[in-house]
Amino acid sequence: MTNPEALPVRKTVETEIVAVTVYTDQALVNRRGIIALTGLERELEITQIPATIQTESVRVRGTGEVAVRLLGVSTERVFSTEPSAERLIHLTRQIQQLEAESNLLQAQIDALALQSRFIEGLREKTEEPFAQSLSRKNLSLSETLDFLNFLGSQYSEYAISTAEYKVQQQELDKQLQVLRQQLQQIQTPHPKESFSLSVAIEPGGAGNFELEVCYVVSSASWTPLYDLQASTSSNCINLAYLAEVTQNTGEDWTNVSLTLSTAKPGLGILPPKLEPWYIDVLRPLELTRMRRLSPLQVASVAIPAPASGENQTTIDTEQPEENLLLAETLVAEVSREGSAATFKLSSGGNIPSDGAPHKTTIFHDDFPCTFEYVAVPRLFSFAYLQANVKNAANRVTLLPGKANIFRDNIFVGITQLENVAPGQEFTLNLGIDEGLKIERDLIERQVDKKLIGNNRKITYGYQIVITNLQNQEANLKLTEQLPISRNEQIKVRLSRSNPQIQLGEMGILEWAFTLPPHATREIYYQFTVEHPPELTVVGLDV
């Protein structure tokens, strides 16, 4: 008769996710669980591992009150058709809440539309009596302006509020669409795929043992976002480095230590190899085989040190009143490991597996910069403000991402920030600035009556006046352009310029100077066009 104690004992370990490191296209998940060993166990099982796991990446280790030998780990694919009741209830509640918010917004939009129609009807009914009273001088000019201002302000207020509510409603509709798709997937009966991990062990006795397992999953990523606040009264740009974390791995990350990394393990460990570069005569198209990079073979996975993080959204706050405290934005601990940077978030991270973006703040700091105006008077009669910003050598790389630009707390627009390495400079366009007034006039156009060397000569002269309307000096780079001849019989020459300047490539003229506060600067240049009189010159639209 077989002794029951001699049979291999298999136990399931209840684990929870304690740490996650998110890369640009995957994530490293760390699980831990404690189990009481009797000394007879030969296999420990961890269930409900998501199907997005990369099975070759699994690594285990552990510590305990007794010595335990880890003999190996294996994975097994599991299929289940049981619906997730808890997930179904959670999604239904979320959808109901968002639908209620959407209905409330629609009610507010309808109320504004009703008020707007009332104002419109009031305008139509009072238009003729109002005009008659005005012609008979029964109404004063101030009363007229007050009535017009009332109508204008009400129209403006209703239009702005309606637009804001519609934007909020569109965002809610996007969230509802994602949640309804997830609900449909759960309600549709189909086999759910997952994995279970089996760890073979040899315990040295009885006692508590903490098992730690880590693995790489796909369908997880993070992308950088930036809020750039420019203040024209200071020589710095406040840069808020944000992260948009998205994951649809199949398991929620609840109250985990969240770390974001700029490393790219998915690109492989071997450098690419050049193949022969062939050229030939023109032939019918042939299919060519594209050589792919070998997939990453994970040799070992380092378990990250504990860190934490939570979803944050940056909130612009006005100047706090007396006895009011300014809200604090939690930031991440930044560290560099070679060329890669990691951001350990400072509070518990909660990223559900819903495929929706979740924002958090990495850090915000002031970056030194210099401001410069750029003007092209031939095209536009105003100047653009630019900031030349430097990423300090001791900072981390700014990855490519979308950036929201604010100037003096006014939203300017959205731009795409390219990769900026430590010590590198980048230019930030801050839009039109009316602090500089620019006037450009054609003050001379003269056609010589006599032919010079059988050529007709036409002289053009331009004057540009720049006025600094600000209380601070302005650095300006002004660019003009001369026509470029595509015919050897047509000659274009710069004859005069003040300040004197050399003609650049492609007919470019460029002046750079500093304009004191409330100062005016004049620029003049003259050029000539010579060509045989029988030629008709096209494109000379000066």
pLDDT tens for the 542 residues of the chain, in order: 445 444 558 899 999 999 999 998 999 999 999 999 999 999 999 998 999 999 999 999 999 899 999 998 898 888 766 556 777 888 888 899 999 998 998 998 888 888 888 877 777 776 676 666 666 666 666 666 666 677 677 777 788 888 888 888 888 898 888 888 888 877 766 567 889 999 999 999 999 999 999 999 999 999 999 999 988 778 889 999 998 999 999 999 999 999 998 887 755 455 666 666 654 555 444 434 333 333 333 223 333 333 333 333 232 334 444 455 444 455 667 666 656 778 888 666 789 998 888 888 888 889 989 999 999 998 888 899 999 999 988 888 888 899 999 888 888 888 888 889 889 999 988 888 888 999 999 999 988 877 777 888 999 999 999 999 999 899 999 999 999 888 888 889 999 999 998 898 888 999 999 999 999 999 999 999 998 888 888 877 66
245 Cβ contact list (under 8 Å, min separation 6): 22, 221, 222, 258, 260, 311, 351, 357, 358, 359, 360
480 forms beta bridges with: 509
Determine the length of the chain. Answer: 542
Count of alpha carbons within 13 Å of 305, Cβ hemisphere only? 6
Q: What's the predicted TM-score (pTM) here?
A: 0.57
DSSP 36-86: EE-S-EEEEEEEEEETTEEEEEEEEEEEESS-EEEEEEEEEEEEE----HH
- β 456-468/436-447 pair status: antiparallel
Closest alpha carbon to 143 in 126, 120, 118, 167: 126
pLDDT reported for residue 441: 94
d(CA 68, CA 13): 15
Cα 220 to chain centroid distance, Å, stands at 17
pLDDT reported for residue 452: 72
pLDDT reported for residue 478: 94
Closest alpha carbon to 480 in 530, 526, 537: 526
Question: Is cis: bond before 422, omega within 30 of 0?
Answer: no
pLDDT reported for residue 517: 93
Under 8 Å between Cβ of 482 and 527 = yes
pLDDT reported for residue 347: 65
pLDDT reported for residue 154: 75
pLDDT reported for residue 292: 37
Count of alpha carbons within 13 Å of 221, Cβ hemisphere only? 9
- β 340-344/436-447 pair status: unpaired
